[in-house]
Amino acid sequence: MEKTNILVTDDDPVSLVVIEKMLEREDLHVVRATSGQEALDLAEDIDFALGVIDVQMPGMSGFETAEKIRKTTRNRELPVIFISAVSKKKEFVLQGYESGAVDYLIKPLDQFLLTSKVNIFCKLHEQKKLLEAKNTELAEVNTQLQSEIAERKTIQKKLKESETKYKKLFEKSNDALLITDKTRILDCNAAMVELFRFKSKTTLLKTHFFEFFPVKQPDGESSEDKIAGMMDMAVREGSQKFESMSLRNDEKEFPTEILMTAIPMGKKTVLH
């Protein structure tokens, strides 16, 4: 279990021992300092949940110590309980609060009062850590989402570029190309319009796919049965190449070599 650090500062070794004994429990780690400078040095390296600092100390007073800890160390939001054996005058207490005090206790200390206040600030510290951890987690999730969004935008841009490039190749190809869902013609290029003698692409797109073939093939097989079978094989195997007689818009038959390629499109498959 990770212990909560409490900084206790007092130039009187006996007072330090007494306070440490009062706060003795498994989840607390009491770190002792015998001067303001030692407390500052400790506050540079250790995260504290609370400071319990004696006001009257030689050299650097408790007020000065608290101010410097909050201004120059990693413990800039350190709550402080000041302890004093001398005075609780209004101006003295106000100076303590201005130095970052959250409370002010007079020696000799009441163990129940001290531990109750320490418990409160330890719980607040724990809640603060949990909140910081949650904020860090949310920040990481947000960073990941932003990265994924940026990646998706890049992919979408590349897909758009590929789509534009494909459409140009599709339109400019000398081979007759079309896309069908097995019944309707979804798209075609200019070479397809010209090969099958249609006046416009619009007219061709209104044509049923099987209308591009005569009723029967030269061997007597039904064109619809043959083409449907080839379509099914193309869907199963990915592509299918075969020869067939085709029928132009002017009713003239002519031999063609057909390559069908299955292309997944959403929940359905189209043929190119």
* 37-46, 143-152, 158-167, range with the lowest pLDDT: 158-167
SS3 for 198?
Answer: coil
Q: Would you tell me how many other CB atoms lie within 10 Å of the CB of residue 106?
A: 13
Q: Which long-range contacts (CB under 8 A, 24 or more apart) does 183-189 make?
A: 183/208, 183/209, 183/210, 184/208, 184/209, 185/209, 186/270
- Peptide linkage before 108 cis (omega within 30 of 0): yes
Give the pTM. Answer: 0.53
pLDDT tens for each residue of 157-189 = 887 887 788 888 888 889 998 888 888 888 888
Q: How far apart are CA 88 and CA 85, in angstroms?
A: 9
Confidence of residue 86 (pLDDT cuts 50, 70, 90): low
Tokens 């429990």 locate to: 25
Strands 178-180, 50-54: pairing kind: unpaired
